[in-house]
Amino acid sequence: MIHLREMYKGARSLKRWLFIIAGICILLGTVAVLISHLSPPTPAIPFPPPVPPYQHFIATLGTVEASSEDVWIGTSDSDIVETVYVQEGDYVKEGSPLFTLRTRVLHAQLEEAETAYMVAVANYEKQLDLPRQESIPPSVALVHQAEARYLDYASQFQIVENLKNPGSVSQDEFNQRKYASCLAKYQLEEAQANLCLLLSGAWVRDLEIFRAEKKQAQASVNILRAQIASSTVYAPFAGVVLVNNIHKGEYAQAGCLDKPLMIFGAIKELHVRVSIVEEEIWRMIEGAPGTAYLRGNRLLSTPLSYVRMQPYMTPKKTLSGDVNEMVDTRVLYLIYKIEDRDLPLYPGQLLDVYLEAKPSKEIP
């Protein structure tokens, strides 16, 4: 009997604890449901956007660039880089060397071309000096020899020709003396003609040929000298080396490259290249003022003054990352001058730009 009573009390105590635990679970579930329905706190914007300074405006991106634009330095010939005279950030004057390519082969070819030019000059001057005084006496002597031979054969022929009795000389001997006399006459004329040719000097056509060969040799020398000179690339104007992608011993490729050898520009005055999408061209006011803000700090801004417009629509390249941004569109580029040079601005930097524009109303 006592045992049954103790079992009844234990069951009642267990039931009481089960109700307590169930109540606690219901309370925790209710609290969790209430918390889940609460609105989460709005996180603070780390870099709040700037406030537009105009009532009607076009908001866009601008890329900082040198006032000279960013000039891609290249080379007309491909070869190994022998010397690099500058590094990134260096200010150089106009005409200062930037880098030099290898020129050993060109110098060897130049030496060969200069020798060929000297030979061409010597041959041309040789023609101008004709006739050589030493060549005249032998030619005159040949004329005298031919004249004496002709007189000899002519006199022998005259003897047989003037015989009173033609039969005293055979017809064969008569013909031999006759034709020997004629041959001697022709040899005399040939010697005289050769002497006249010698005394007349160089033929004008020969002079033209030798003169042309001289010019051709000189042109070859000039070409090689120009190639040697072009192997050193110079600064096109006073500016700063913005990017340097070449080093000594590397191969410099000529032509239009995806990665330029150097980027050069005049950054004493900076410009910003602003793109206007074609959907907002109708709102643009050419020459309108603008304001640029540094990304990450809306307190840093600079007024912009209009410089020029690139009047040709091009496919959009600079993307802002906005999910609503259209990439299959074309843009018109405007160039503005940055007035505040005390800001930390560098070529290639992106700026938030606001341009004063026409009101954004419905198109009729």
Lowest mean pLDDT among 7-21, 47-61, 230-244: 7-21
In the chain the first and final C-alpha atoms are separated, in Å, by 100
Q: What is the rounded CA–CA span in Å between residue 130 and residue 110?
A: 31
What pLDDT, on a 0 to 100 scale, did the predictor assign at position 37?
64
pLDDT tens sequence across 82-141: 999 999 999 999 999 999 999 999 999 999 999 999 999 999 888 888 887 887 888 888
- Residue 276 is predicted with a pLDDT of 92
Q: Write the pLDDT tens digit of every residue in 133-174.
A: 887 888 888 888 888 888 888 888 887 777 767 667 778 887
- Provide the pLDDT confidence category of residue 247 given band limits of 50, 70 and 90: very high
Instruction: Domain 57-67+269-356: give its CATH code.
Output: 2.40.30.170
CA–CA distance from 72 to each of 68, 260, 261 (Å)? 11, 6, 7
290 near 303, Cβ under 8 Å?
A: yes
User: How far is residue 138's CA from residue 77's CA, in Å, rounded to a whole number?
Assistant: 56
Residue whose structure tokens are 């992608």: 245
Q: How far is CA 128 from the centre of its chain?
A: 45
Do 57-67+269-356 and 71-102+231-262 share a fold?
Answer: no
Asked if residues 101 and 80 have their Cβ atoms less than 8 Å apart, the reply is: yes
pLDDT band at 319 (very low <50, low <70, confident <90, very high): low
| Mean pLDDT for all residues in the chain | 84
Q: Is the pLDDT of residue 22 over 50?
A: yes
Other CB atoms within 10 Å distance of the CB of residue 100: 18
- Largest Cα–Cα separation, the chain: 202
SS3 (DSSP) at 284: strand
The answer to whether domain 71-102+231-262 has CATH 1.10.150.650 is no
On the question of pLDDT at 263 being above 70, the answer is yes
- Mean pLDDT of all residues in 323-351: 83
pLDDT band at residue 40 using 50, 70 and 90 as cut-offs:
low
* For range 305-324, the mean pLDDT: 75
d(CA 290, CA 301): 11
Domains of the chain, residue spans: 1-38, 57-67+269-356, 71-102+231-262
Is the pLDDT at 179 greater than 60, yes or no?
yes
User: For residue 213, what pLDDT band results from cuts at 50, 70 and 90?
Assistant: very high
Please state whether beta strands 239-244 and 91-92 pair in parallel, antiparallel, or not at all (unpaired).
antiparallel
Is residue 18's pLDDT more than 60? yes
Please report which confidence band the pLDDT of residue 175 belongs to, taking 50, 70 and 90 as the band edges. Answer: confident
The 3-state secondary structure of 123-179, one letter per residue:
HHHHHHCCCCHHHHHHHHHHHHHHHHHHHHHHHHHHHHHCCCCHHHCCHHHHHHHHH
